Structure 1
């Protein structure tokens, strides 16, 4: 709902259009509301009322007739359900109940219902002018309090139409309108965007740098909503949020425990702070999916051994780690039992940093209880101080680059004034107020019952999609004939009914069981579906909204089967149909069911997967599916069919043992030779050289080598690449050879420059 739009009133009353005293009075009330500039919509049946209850975001006030459908107990029960549904979704929206005078005690009206309504109205008691005024006032109060702290002030300021003598230079969009291209730009985005693009000089809106005024209020409000002691808004993504935390908690000579499954921003933070990383190694399964760090790596004894084994800790000020960073959830949706991780790591470090870039919604649904940083009841003055960095824009509703840092203080609390110095080192003095407003609005959206409603919808839609895919696989994926194949799903095969204790196939499990019971998603020991060994029960859970589709080809033991369809082919096909996945592996494709998901969206995905299957089963020529590919590489792909290319790709991956080599490469901890900072110094000074992957044996890399997606380092700056025939270089060589063999399906590996099909990596010059 645009705060500048007219107020909207919904009237649920089947007697409006009747020639009765009540009907005529309601018509006069509607006339008065419309004369005052309000928009009025009426709903004339119980069925329509139920549908209208789901459209609350566009409504400022609801009037509902208690006798909707007639004065009977059954109809009153239906009306009660509608009121409950409205309140379940929005506990602030004003509800006016139209009924008989209170002295006549309308039948069926309970104290419970009276508590849920705002006003009890008998339309015949007061004048239409008076009632229209009451309704208008309630709607206006709701519209004003509905806004979040900073956003409301931004709206007020933009309404003033003041002349701007400060930056930005476009002065509310005026500058853009002076040239044709500028006018096109202005028209595309609209005047309101430019009028709200303001300078930090605007005192009325406060400052992001000193957290004052409406911005400071918005951060305090977000801290309340997200369960933090302190929250900081970040306008350059969680890459910057991670650096802010490091600069506020870590300095040169400090030992830091680092999840090897970390984003490259952690590597940058280690480089800039000159701190010493000691790595915690996550597991991987047969699909190449990254799993959790096993708890036995987080014990004080295990950490002590890791610190002693690191060659750089001898230069540290102390061998006692001061900080730890853990990725939660992982890029594939694996969530730690955060309380367990804090208990284990908290015996060694005083500060724990959960990189929850993809996980900002966890607090708002009980399915994730105990599996995120800012948990209710987690505050412990004797425990570690805990940070959570969240990309609010990723799976909640905020603009790109919108992120937050949440802090829960423990035995070594963060002092705001000192921490803010690190914050200011990474924050622009000209932040985009639109991003700040989106963070503020996102917090408001998740406050109260709407947080659970929104996350429930994500989870439910993901479950419906998962069950539909599993049911299709059960019906046609049995491989009795060549065309009997379908896509698998990375999810449990069966779950346990919490009431009866009986096992139920995932396909047949009721929505409520899968939605409400975390145990359905836990990686239980001994279950084959997840492919991780040696886990504690309840230690790790799969987030249902992060959906991984499996393409055919991988056996339960990790071997590649005779029949297979590499994910790259499916991804490219979906791309031609306007469906973009989040990331993909060799035989896996990840889709995110965010707040913006709809049934139509995932229904279209299934339809297009069926279309891929049809084209495959009909042995369709590539030129009919990928005409751009044929145009770019006619000599390579002309005359080939989709199954032929799939078979050739699959055979390449099988012959080159790519899944096996990937697992070995990422399970290996390379030898660190020089520090990140030293490697970067040499890079800047130019004492590096580009080395072909075939000649990298024993060389020390100057930059990280990071395959995308999801951006997990294979090699970090200053590390030795290992033997020429070792798993790291064998894996890189396999990627290079695949790219050469299958042009148009190239891998994206940061730190690798491709020249004439050859992988080159920046390495330290040998003396």
Structure 2
């Protein structure tokens, strides 16, 4: 490709921009006034751009190989007028997507195609006017141009006016090109593999080198039978694009091949008989993913006349349309929202608490799309989803390992379940007053300590946040693998509130909980893995490795003992399409039916409303449809927009003086980056894949953490005063000297451009203001900048639970604490008092423990720095003071911190009549 391609991180945007630039250059070239050296200049530009597009275009159906070849012939012949006209027509069709009508030959010719659809027109679109939805099908077979033309003509002849879908073909001759097409072309919804394809392309693919899967090319060697090669290619395509339907066409022994290879394909057809049936199967396969059982049922219900004699006056808008005062609700929301309101669980609808109809079907489709064994819809957010999972798995007295910096819902869930919590420490990022993620060494050390103390049997679950708010992503599979080597039945809860989109990108996918669980389960079932594990045991001669040895090496679980028990909670509404509070629980638990199903149902009933919002449920159903059909495209666009935002900020001469985008190496220390690649995505997809395959932690490139210390504003000021109040830019996360921008599947290039414009405006005003500062004001500004950039804030570790709330039995002390006992002790008001910061420090100086009676959570950073039962430390108080944030939950400025009185603590630690302290009894005395 040309040098221009180096600025891009995904091909779709490179391709789109290249066509736009080609149209501009072709237009200039075709003008009569363009002569001499100017003409030579535009001839050169067009030649370079055609060179960029030539290796890309074979993998898209539009404009297609014949039309692109015609374009090249016109250019080579010097027919610049017709060349310009054809480029303009093609680019118009690509920009407005008018080619998606399936009429490839005439797309872009109509002047009405110049503008995309007005979103407001969707409201008035007649129900009778149904647009045929467009997609593309990849055919893998070596064929001549004449055969390819005949095949396209044949496929088009099968179209019917009442078909819901229309598709065009992309034809490649080799396995490596099939993988390239699947990676590049987001329009693909099906792949048809024929017997006659080569393992390696005869084309020069050097321009696409980072998209070529050499491993697949090597595996598809010519000595293999056609069936073996078809199976290898199908497996590789399924791993890359699991949502795409795969079909096999063969000429011989179709019945035998269907029996042997059927699990890899949706259908197997005989090549001489199955063309029309294949066509219908392709349409049916897409229709199956397009189906939205609950949304369709709700839509049908909304059109039925009903008489409501039980609840919801707002049902079908009856309390609104007859009102004199609130009719503006209808004009704002639209009538359909109220027509669909009901509290009924029959008449074609379903009950969220006991789904047997369309809701059950919708959840089963979601499980298939997200790769889980079970999926459950939640209508009041992932906070509730976390509590449901925790309560269904954890009984009072069970030990849970928990990331200290996780969302507060986990802390409250532990309290409700009666868990004894071992808090895990994430690595600190003191320069930015943030924490990263929990290293595997921290997790293993805690598990091994519990094993030494004889408490491993009580350890039930570990809960971690993947990915963190700041975008740090775990190697999920490795964490689970090594933990199961120590505790074979450990249950994993991965909070993926901000990571629901990751399933739909081939690189991200392997670091999601559901994909990692499936891969780990397959590995443990693999006979070769079992033989290797037995060989390792034999080589060890029965010698038990020391804890130091276990800490130093990568552990592998015993396939005979390990159980894969994984849960993921996702805020669908945060990163995918769903109404606010729409979330999902995904389950991949081998023991779910035998051990958890009943408890899960009870926990679900306990936390779920008996009057769920049906619009939220319908939006979850629709959001699932969207990602099943276009998730790959949307997520690629999201990432590219993020990278363009990074480049626009870091390459701007003014902005780069005041702000900078933190790199992977800024947020993840080198000890956790085996690849040692500082910016994986910015150095190409292959480097990103290397880092994501090997590093303990990686950075989600769709999160842009902006260092703003050089502006003199702290994070909260920059967010409120500059971004939100003045310019309407909404963000959520800040730290002492950073703000976090997140792109999502709804982010557009225009919104990225707007943000850059706002940042440049802020920088210009700052530049002007600093240039006019007097000596005193300049000194104060520089002092503030120094405080935000050079001065670091100590990041305190978890100070520990007071002994009154710890189980001190065992061969050695361990750190778990009974959060519920500590929480409910405060319900007796006489057990508590308020102390100011100075009063707490005075007691600490006197050697008196001060114990928190509440959760204390500063915003930012938004995680509890104190939990009930935790002892205060000077470091924690200094951390809270240095944050300088006005919002601290659990702290009252006029009173101070709510803590337990010395008398209350003494009452817990004094020996009882049987000679034991309450913390040595089972169950604990405090409840």
**TM-score calculated relative to the size of structure 2:** 0.59
* Aligned with residue 704 of structure 2, among 543, 547, 554: 547
Give 2:880's aligned residue: 732
Post-superposition CA distance 1:548-567 (Å, at most 9, x none): 111245xxxxxxxxx95533
Structure 2 counterparts to residues 528-677 of structure 1, below 5 A = 538-553=695-710, 565-571=713-719, 572-575=721-724, 576-619=726-769, 646-647=781-782, 649-650=784-785, 659-661=792-794, 663=795, 665-666=796-797, 668-669=799-800, 671=802, 673-674=804-805, 675-677=818-820
* Aligned with residue 401 of structure 2, among 257, 266, 271: 257
Does the 8 A contact of 2:385 with 2:569 survive in 1? Answer: yes
Give 1:296's aligned residue: 441
Post-superposition CA distance 1:348-378 (Å, at most 9, x none): 2421110111101111101214311010534
Does the 8 A contact of 2:376 with 2:585 survive in 1? Answer: yes
Post-superposition CA distance 1:308-334 (Å, at most 9, x none): 78xxx98xxx75311111111011000
Does the 8 A contact of 1:271 with 1:677 survive in 2? Answer: yes
> Does 1:754 find its partner at 2:880?
no
CA distance in 1, matches of 2:723, 2:881: 28
Cα–Cα, structure 1 residues 597 and 112, in superposed 2: closer, same or farther, change >3 Å?
farther
Structure 2 counterparts to residues 422-433 of structure 1, below 5 A = 422-433=603-614
Cα–Cα, structure 1 residues 114 and 409, in superposed 2: closer, same or farther, change >3 Å?
farther
Instruction: Quote the offset at 1:672 in angstroms.
Output: 6.2
Cα–Cα, structure 1 residues 678 and 340, in superposed 2: closer, same or farther, change >3 Å?
same
CA distance in 2, matches of 1:353, 1:166: 39
Give 2:55's aligned residue: none
> Does 1:352 find its partner at 2:492?
yes
> Does 1:287 find its partner at 2:432?
yes
Does the 8 A contact of 2:714 with 2:737 survive in 1? Answer: yes
CA distance in 2, matches of 1:65, 1:679: 69
Instruction: Quote the offset at 1:605 in angstroms.
Output: 1.3
Instruction: Quote the offset at 1:464 in angstroms.
Output: 1.2
SS at match of 2:309: coil
Structure 2 counterparts to residues 391-402 of structure 1, below 5 A = 391-402=571-582
SS at match of 1:182: coil
Instruction: Name whichever of 362-371 and 542-551 sits farther off.
Output: 362-371
Does the 8 A contact of 1:620 with 1:641 survive in 2? Answer: no
Paired positions, count: 605
Does the 8 A contact of 1:694 with 1:733 survive in 2? Answer: no
Instruction: Quote the offset at 1:379 in angstroms.
Output: 3.2
SS at match of 2:480: helix
Does the 8 A contact of 2:858 with 2:880 survive in 1? Answer: no
Instruction: Quote the offset at 1:693 in angstroms.
Output: 2.1
Post-superposition CA distance 1:166-216 (Å, at most 9, x none): 322222221133444432233321211111121143342111101221001
Does the 8 A contact of 1:45 with 1:68 survive in 2? Answer: no
CA distance in 2, matches of 1:212, 1:646: 64
Instruction: Quote the offset at 1:54 in angstroms.
Output: 5.9
Cα–Cα, structure 1 residues 639 and 446, in superposed 2: closer, same or farther, change >3 Å?
same
CA distance in 1, matches of 2:786, 2:678: 33
* Aligned with residue 704 of structure 1, among 829, 834, 855: 855
> Does 1:232 find its partner at 2:232?
no
Give 2:133's aligned residue: 93
Does the 8 A contact of 2:852 with 2:868 survive in 1? Answer: yes
Give 1:434's aligned residue: 615
Does the 8 A contact of 2:493 with 2:568 survive in 1? Answer: yes
Cα–Cα, structure 1 residues 456 and 321, in superposed 2: closer, same or farther, change >3 Å?
same
Structure 2 counterparts to residues 340-419 of structure 1, below 5 A = 340-347=478-485, 348=487, 349-375=489-515, 377-380=519-522, 382-410=562-590, 414-419=595-600
CA distance in 2, matches of 1:425, 1:95: 43
SS at match of 1:168: coil
SS at match of 1:293: coil
Post-superposition CA distance 1:449-484 (Å, at most 9, x none): x11111100011111111222222xx457xxxxxx8
Instruction: Quote the offset at 1:277 in angstroms.
Output: 0.6
CA distance in 1, matches of 2:441, 2:287: 53
CA distance in 2, matches of 1:616, 1:644: 15
Structure 2 gap segments, 5+ residues each: 1-61, 64-84, 110-130, 138-143, 168-282, 526-561, 669-674, 806-817, 842-848, 904-927
Does the 8 A contact of 1:615 with 1:642 survive in 2? Answer: no
Does the 8 A contact of 2:664 with 2:699 survive in 1? Answer: no
Instruction: Quote the offset at 1:695 in angstroms.
Output: 1.7
Instruction: Quote the offset at 1:402 in angstroms.
Output: 0.6
Instruction: Quote the offset at 1:243 in angstroms.
Output: 0.5
Cα–Cα, structure 1 residues 190 and 308, in superposed 2: closer, same or farther, change >3 Å?
farther
* Aligned with residue 452 of structure 1, among 602, 612, 632: 632
Give 2:899's aligned residue: 763
What RMSD, in angstroms, separates the aligned Cα atoms of the two structures? 4.0
Give 2:657's aligned residue: 485
Cα–Cα, structure 1 residues 153 and 692, in superposed 2: closer, same or farther, change >3 Å?
same
Cα–Cα, structure 1 residues 430 and 383, in superposed 2: closer, same or farther, change >3 Å?
same
CA distance in 2, matches of 1:516, 1:159: 52
Structure 2 counterparts to residues 212-223 of structure 1, below 5 A = 212-223=356-367
Does the 8 A contact of 1:519 with 1:538 survive in 2? Answer: no
Instruction: Quote the offset at 1:337 in angstroms.
Output: 0.7
Does the 8 A contact of 1:238 with 1:403 survive in 2? Answer: yes
Cα–Cα, structure 1 residues 187 and 488, in superposed 2: closer, same or farther, change >3 Å?
same
Give 1:128's aligned residue: none
Does the 8 A contact of 1:248 with 1:418 survive in 2? Answer: yes
Post-superposition CA distance 1:601-643 (Å, at most 9, x none): 1111111111111111111799xxxxxxxxxxxxxxx999996
Instruction: Quote the offset at 1:144 in angstroms.
Output: 10
CA distance in 2, matches of 1:195, 1:552: 51
SS at match of 1:207: coil
SS at match of 1:749: strand
Does the 8 A contact of 2:133 with 2:164 survive in 1? Answer: no
Instruction: Quote the offset at 1:405 in angstroms.
Output: 0.5
Does the 8 A contact of 2:403 with 2:464 survive in 1? Answer: yes
Cα–Cα, structure 1 residues 195 and 503, in superposed 2: closer, same or farther, change >3 Å?
same
CA distance in 1, matches of 2:678, 2:428: 26
SS at match of 2:514: coil
> Does 1:689 find its partner at 2:833?
yes
Give 2:650's aligned residue: 470
Higher helix share: 2
Instruction: Name whichever of 190-199 and 385-394 sits farther off.
Output: 190-199
Cα–Cα, structure 1 residues 186 and 68, in superposed 2: closer, same or farther, change >3 Å?
closer
SS at match of 1:282: coil
Cα–Cα, structure 1 residues 518 and 136, in superposed 2: closer, same or farther, change >3 Å?
closer
> Does 1:110 find its partner at 2:156?
no
Cα–Cα, structure 1 residues 137 and 386, in superposed 2: closer, same or farther, change >3 Å?
closer
Instruction: Quote the offset at 1:696 in angstroms.
Output: 2.3
Give 1:719's aligned residue: 870
Give 1:32's aligned residue: none
SS at match of 2:637: helix
Does the 8 A contact of 2:364 with 2:374 survive in 1? Answer: yes
Instruction: Quote the offset at 1:397 in angstroms.
Output: 1.0
CA distance in 1, matches of 2:165, 2:576: 32
CA distance in 2, matches of 1:202, 1:541: 47
CA distance in 1, matches of 2:299, 2:442: 51
